[in-house]
Structure 1
Amino acid sequence: MDAGGAGTVRPGGRTAAVRAAVLRAAGDILAEQGFGALDLADVAARAGVGKTTVYRRWGNAPRLVADLLVDMAQQSLPRTETGSLLGDLRANARLVQRTLSDPRQGRLFKALIAAAVCDEQAADALHRFYRVRVEEWASCVRQAVERGEVPEGTDSHEVVRAVSAPLYYRLLTSGDPLDEAAADRAAHAVAVAARTGAYVSEPDLP
């Protein structure tokens, strides 16, 4: 994924160490204070690197957010394979639930979503982040089609998005408990719907 000109990283080198420190500092500020408080000078001070380095490499807060999302996509845990659609969807839902209910990560995702609302560059980066995550987990639905668990033509991306949607709803709007039971209900509901053909793509009408 393209970070929007954030620079080349040499694994294990000084460039990688600076990037890691800056992204960690940016994530902390986002989680603690929100996107509106993300100032590059403050990020540099917290990361212990020169302000000039941060401004030269990232330029502005939206580009820094974009690079943070690239890093988060790269660091995300690989999908779980359980051998059944319900098992895979439950694993996905529980991973989302654990992430969003984590004190730091939940606030961070709220800030990232707020940034996407306010800035087009941040929005593009957030969309790319979720495309990567959805595509990785979509393979579990395609495998379910091959096993005959769900009908041919099932839209794998829609299935994965439907699992996490109620969890994000709880995070952002309802304030209902974001617990493992909620994750399991979401996975079960989507698995049942997928088996009935609810996510089969409709053919294009003439």
Structure 2
Amino acid sequence: MLFYIASTLSLLISVVSGSALTFTLGAQETSCFYIFTTQPSTSVSFYFAVQSGGAFDVDYTIKNPRGEVIVSEDKQRQGDFFFTADATGEYEFCFANEMSTFAEKVVDFEIKFEEEDGYNFRANMPEQPNAKPIAHVESMQQTVDSIDQQLDGLARTLQYYKTRNNRNQATVKSTESRIYYFSIFEVLLMVGMAFLQITIVQLFFKGSRKQLV
């Protein structure tokens, strides 16, 4: 936290919490995660991306403390959105992979929420000869907030490129695997055709010899 000493400086404290996690979601499995808010009108941001597995998609649902569905979508590869948590209590974030019979998914997700405690702390400090004006402090705070937003955007962009890279690698590996097995099948087919041709020619000559006799 950046601050300057000044007389009668008022601060409104905001608590920012966040959680980032990468986990494996098994086939026909559902995993749920929870956050607990203590203040109404809490700002919640949510991001997820499927890194690998199957068609890179999952179903997800978000519910409020009353059990009401806030967001619910099926077969999504990634999501990035924001909502206001009006009710206090436990919010549920669930990911489902029930559409897959054998493919497991690797999912990255991040949840951030910000709460204001509602208290104003007033610090009565002795005046300093070189004290910075409050307006200058507010300008510095705005600059810090702007830098923080830009860093968040950069982190999301890097996360997006990471997701794209993982998906492209999975596509390349899948293509290589298909080419490999198709090549083996092609070789086996050629050997089988050669063997069948040799067998037919042998049977033809055997039949010709019997007719001559």
Q: Would you call these one fold, judging by a TM-score over 0.5?
A: no
Structure of higher CA gyration radius = 2
**Interval containing the TM-score (normalised by the shorter chain):** under 0.3
TM-score, scaled to structure 1: 0.26
TM-score, scaled to structure 2: 0.25
Higher strand share: 2
Higher helix share: 1
